């Protein structure tokens, strides 16, 4: 009998299971130490009221088409104008997700003959965009500005004549550490290049008024910044802040923008309210910062773990199976903590990713840390 047409897929899943890398969907339950809802806006009454009011004034749930057809709603345009003012950008384009925005950006803006130099730990969505680009791309060691500079120098010596594009995250999603943005901006300026900064995990949390770690660079003609809306903003979508000419170029050339149904106008109304909440309720950021400091001090004193100084704190385990066992023990104790394994993180660096949000208070954190200590001891191998 011939092999089943599904056999190769089943074999791949079996190999993943043997490496303790098989993924599956699980429900949200327990105290939140996993989500990116850093400021606890996803379920905020004010955000719900804003969406309800938008519905009452006739804002539709569905966009009905792409932005270049009938999908361009006044809520999209109002959001883009308000976001541009908020972040100090010339123009902003609203995408359905950060993944879509990165894919559109890197597959469209870098031209044939250009060079993309990306951080070794950059988002998968950037790699997706690069795969569709006509440019050459190389990786650089994590957070090493000199390595970016060296990569561009080597390219120039080999005859590279286009523009270099430097692609980084301002705050890395699995390590919680920050990019040397000022030094990278100097590299971009020195080589007549562009600096692309993904602020996904910094927007709303860091910077003056929650404007992100790149706030001092935003608005330059060679700086492009991505602000996602599905994390600290508590909603969904992404805001791509670019010079006006590049916004027009994306509208005309980015396939992910041209051929996708526009984001929900109702969600655009929600993002507008998130911007207002950031402006009106700075106490949310202050409260989150306090929890981050307290957690860092406790991790250092109790576990000898260096704090990340951000709301994302990795607990390195190393072994995939052990990371899964510890996470399952914490889940049984009532804490939603997940194991992060390759290929999301490099081989040998399986970890627990602790996400500090305002959905948990200090008493939740202290109990969780006691349970973590017990689980690590019980599953020491």
Q: Is the bond preceding residue 343 a cis peptide, omega within 30 degrees?
A: yes
**What pLDDT was estimated at residue 381?**
74
pLDDT digits (tens, 9 = 90+) for 43-102: 999 999 999 999 999 999 999 999 999 999 999 999 999 999 999 999 999 999 999 999
Instruction: Answer whether residue 288 shows pLDDT above 90.
Output: yes
Closest among 253, 246, 257 to 163, alpha carbons compared: 246
pLDDT band (50, 70, 90) for residue 2: low
Instruction: Answer whether residue 236 shows pLDDT above 60.
Output: yes
Mean pLDDT of 109-113: 97
**CATH number for the domain whose boundaries are 59-280:** 3.40.640.10
Tell if the pTM clears 0.85, that is, is over it: yes
Instruction: Answer whether residue 272 shows pLDDT above 90.
Output: yes
Structure tokens at 42: 């996803």
pLDDT digits (tens, 9 = 90+) for 332-372: 999 999 999 998 899 999 999 999 999 999 999 999 999 99
**What pLDDT was estimated at residue 21?**
85
Cα separation, 334 vs 317, whole angstroms: 20
The pairing of strands 164-169 and 115-119 is parallel
Closest among 204, 268, 239, 281 to 45, alpha carbons compared: 281
Residues with active-site annotation: 36, 123, 169, 173, 198, 201, 231
Mean pLDDT of 103-131: 96
Helix-helix angle 320-332:362-378, to 10 degrees:
130
Q: How many CB atoms lie within 10 A of CB 150?
A: 15
Instruction: Answer whether residue 28 shows pLDDT above 90.
Output: no
**What pLDDT was estimated at residue 269?**
98
User: Domain spans of the chain?
Assistant: 28-41+282-378, 59-280
Cα-Cα-Cα-Cα dihedral sign, residues 85, 86, 88, 89: negative
Instruction: Answer whether residue 1 shows pLDDT above 60.
Output: no
Give the CATH class of 28-41+282-378. Answer: alpha beta
Distance set, CA 77 to CA 96, 101, 326 (Å): 14, 17, 46
Distance set, CA 243 to CA 106, 223, 246, 306 (Å): 15, 8, 5, 39
**What pLDDT was estimated at residue 159?**
96
């Amino acid at each position: 009998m011939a092999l089943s047409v599904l056999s190769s897929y089943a074999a791949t899943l079996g190999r993943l299971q043997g490496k303790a890398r098989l993924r599956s969907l699980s429900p949200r339950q327990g105290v939140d130490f996993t989500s990116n809802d850093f400021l606890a806006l996803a379920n905020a009454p004010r955000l719900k009221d804003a969406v309800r009011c938008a519905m009452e004034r006739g804002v539709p749930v569905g966009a009905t088409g792409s932005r270049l057809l009938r999908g361009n709603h006044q809520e999209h345009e109002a959001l883009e104008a308000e976001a541009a003012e908020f972040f100090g950008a010339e123009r902003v384009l609203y995408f359905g997700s950060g993944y879509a925005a990165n894919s559109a950006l890197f597959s469209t803006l870098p031209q044939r003959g250009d060079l993309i130099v990306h951080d070794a730990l950059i988002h998968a969505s950037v790699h997706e965009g690069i795969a569709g680009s006509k440019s050459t791309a190389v990786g650089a060691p994590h957070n090493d500005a000199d390595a970016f500079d060296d990569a561009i120098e080597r390219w120039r010596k080999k005859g590279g004549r286009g523009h270099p594009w430097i692609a980084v995250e301002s705050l890395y999603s699995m390590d919680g550490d920050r990019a040397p943005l000022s030094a990278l901006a100097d590299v971009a300026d020195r080589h007549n290049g562009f600096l692309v900064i993904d602020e996904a995990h910094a927007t709303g949390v860091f910077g003056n008024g929650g404007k992100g770690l790149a706030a001092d660079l935003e608005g330059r003609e060679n700086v492009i910044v991505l602000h996602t809306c599905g994390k600290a903003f508590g909603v969904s979508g992404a805001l791509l802040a670019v010079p006006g000419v590049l916004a027009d170029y994306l509208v005309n050339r980015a396939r992910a923008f041209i051929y996708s149904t526009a984001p929900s106008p109702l969600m655009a109304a929600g993002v507008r309210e998130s911007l207002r909440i950031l402006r009106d309720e700075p106490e949310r950021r202050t409260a989150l910062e306090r929890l981050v400091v307290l957690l860092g001090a406790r991790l250092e004193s109790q576990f000898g773990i260096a704090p990340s100084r951000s709301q994302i704190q990795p607990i390195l385990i190393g072994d995939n199976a052990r990371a899964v066992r510890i996470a399952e023990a914490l889940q049984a104790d009532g804490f939603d903590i997940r194991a992060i394994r390759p290929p999301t993180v490099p081989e040998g660096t399986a970890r627990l990713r602790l996400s500090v949000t305002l959905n948990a208070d200090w008493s939740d954190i202290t109990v969780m840390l006691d349970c973590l200590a017990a689980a690590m001891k019980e599953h020491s191998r």
